[in-house]
Amino acid sequence: MNENFMKEKPVFELILSMSLPMVLSMLVSSLYNIVDSFFVAKISEDAMTALSLVYPVQNLINAVGIGFGVGINSVIALNLGAGKSLRADEAASQGISLSFVHGVILNLCSVALMPAFLGAFTSDPDVIDLGVRYSTVAFSFSVIICLGMAFEKVFQAVGRMHIAMAGLLGGCIANIILDPLLIFGIGPFPGLGIDGAALATGLGQALTLLIYIAAYFMFRLPVSIRKSLLLPGSATASRLYSIGIPAILNIALPSVLISALNGILASFSGIYILILGIYYKLQTFLYLPANGLVQGMRPLIGFNYGAGEKERVKNIYNTVLLLSGVIMLAGTAVCLSVPNKLMGFFTQNEETIKEGSMALRIISMGFIISSMSVTSSGALEGIGKGLPSLLISLCRYIAVIIPAALLLGSRFGPVGVWNAFWVTEAVTSAVAFAVYRRVVKL
């Protein structure tokens, strides 16, 4: 398959063909996250609270893998669009080797720091013990996580979305199957409790990587991972990090936000930490499919931007913005109509369900308008503009929402914290619109 199809096929058909496999994969990933939390919640409410506290660090590890992968994706697509195949090979090869190094560092640091991290948010020894047990197993797969995401972005960069989809689906389905088997000890499997949930996650990620490696050797790609290019060179590595570091920060910022919000909410009651954790599990059903659209968009925008096809860049952006808005509209309708049922999947505590339902209704007011910031940030990453994309994320996850949550929370309690979400989305979307129009000049 000639990669020039990225600038030759009709835009809407092209976006659907590139994005639908990723949207499907993201939906299955969302289902996995929900199922994983559902089974962990069956262990105890303490186990679910521990999972909520571990989530920011888990998200940070994923952020490094995905964010640096965005750099790999962007550099490959831009070079292919400009006809520089050797530079594309360098990006793929060095991206893989650097991802391995990242995984080793993340494994050592995260396991060592987790007890102190958990102790900063709770003094409950049971919650800390459960969190340490889960994280020790889950974070031991950090190298596999980073390598899997690097391979995924290589496939996406050259338009082989069906391979990326197959890897994600295989891993997620394995997770879903293994969760109850390893948590509760069904059949010949040992009952490992929360350790089993972490092990199921890691084994699913390992399967994803194996699928990617097999696919790389089975299919002919426009880029190659060469032994002679594995050693990082200054020019290519600098380019990968110039896009990858802002992308890492974009994805890691929610971890900072969640930790900050946990600190604010802990002053009211522990149930609000649980509610926040449940919300972030539920919102993956919206933002992961929207991210699937963005993942399909990135190589298209990067290739066409590198090829000088400015009008197609504009059409691709507008189409993805519209489709993201449709996803967010559906999510808003669900959260407004049945919030109690959504909360009921994770807890039977009536007070938690009542307070959580109110939180979902308030937070969902910002879903639709968030399409602007999500699409703009992803498009800027696709064309190699990492710093403007980071600016949007800083507004969304740090500069606006944390001060708003502190101010509104001190005056109105937890309700004020929930209202800070939609206020932030409104402000950030205005910033995203202005930044994107100024940088891309379309």
Question: In sequence order, what are the residues at sequence separation of 6 or more whose Cβ sits closer than 8 angstroms to the Cβ of residue 270?
Answer: 49, 122
For the segment 108-121, what is each residue's pLDDT rounded down to a tens digit?
998 898 999 888 87
For the segment 6-52, what is each residue's pLDDT rounded down to a tens digit?
666 777 887 887 777 777 766 666 666 677 777 887 888 788 888 87
Please tell me the predicted confidence (pLDDT) of residue 29. 63
Question: In sequence order, what are the residues at sequence separation of 6 or more whose Cβ sits closer than 8 angstroms to the Cβ of residue 17?
Answer: 9, 161
User: Could you tell me if 251 and 66 are in contact, meaning their C-beta atoms sit under 8 angstroms apart?
Assistant: yes
Dist. CA 68–CA 153, nearest whole Å: 9
For the segment 308-347, what is each residue's pLDDT rounded down to a tens digit?
788 888 899 999 999 999 999 999 999 999 999 988 887 7
Q: C-alpha dihedral over 142, 148, 28, 164, to 10 degrees?
A: 170
Range of the domain at 54: 3-440
User: Could you tell me if 73 and 157 are in contact, meaning their C-beta atoms sit under 8 angstroms apart?
Assistant: yes
SS3 281: helix
Q: Provide the number of structural domains found in the chain.
A: 1
How remote is the C-alpha of 413 from its chain's centroid? 29
> Phi/psi zone of residue 347: left (φ > 0), alpha (ψ -120 to 50 degrees), beta?
beta
Question: In sequence order, what are the residues at sequence separation of 6 or more whose Cβ sits closer than 8 angstroms to the Cβ of residue 33?
Answer: 281, 284
How remote is the C-alpha of 234 from its chain's centroid? 28
For the segment 377-393, what is each residue's pLDDT rounded down to a tens digit?
989 988 878 789 889 98
User: Could you tell me if 180 and 39 are in contact, meaning their C-beta atoms sit under 8 angstroms apart?
Assistant: yes
User: Could you tell me if 304 and 313 are in contact, meaning their C-beta atoms sit under 8 angstroms apart?
Assistant: yes
DSSP state of 188: T
Instruction: Look at residue 142 and tell me whether its pLDDT is greater than 90.
Output: yes
Burial class of residue 57, CB neighbours in 10 A (0-12, 13-18, 19+): buried
Q: State the sign of the Cα–Cα–Cα–Cα dihedral 307, 310, 313, 319.
A: negative
Please tell me the predicted confidence (pLDDT) of residue 8. 66
CB 279: neighbour CB atoms within 10 A?
22
- Rounded to 5°, the CA angle 217-221-226 comes to 65
SS3 8: coil
DSSP state of 81: H
Please tell me the predicted confidence (pLDDT) of residue 421. 95
User: Which helix (H) or strand (E) is 273 found in, with range?
Assistant: helix 270-282
Dist. CA 297–CA 291, nearest whole Å: 9
Instruction: Look at residue 2 and tell me whether its pLDDT is greater than 60.
Output: no
For the segment 75-108, what is each residue's pLDDT rounded down to a tens digit?
898 888 778 888 889 999 999 999 999 999 999 9
Please tell me the predicted confidence (pLDDT) of residue 220. 85
Mean pLDDT over all residues of the chain?
A: 87
Top-ranked range on mean pLDDT: pick from 33-37, 285-289, 360-364 = 360-364
Please tell me the predicted confidence (pLDDT) of residue 1. 46
Instruction: Look at residue 349 and tell me whether its pLDDT is greater than 90.
Output: no
Amino acid, res. 344: G
- CA-to-CA dists, residue 277 to 34, 38, 353, angstroms: 11, 12, 13
User: Could you tell me if 199 and 133 are in contact, meaning their C-beta atoms sit under 8 angstroms apart?
Assistant: no
Helices (H), 283-385: 284-306, 310-337, 339-344, 350-363, 370-382
SS3 60: helix
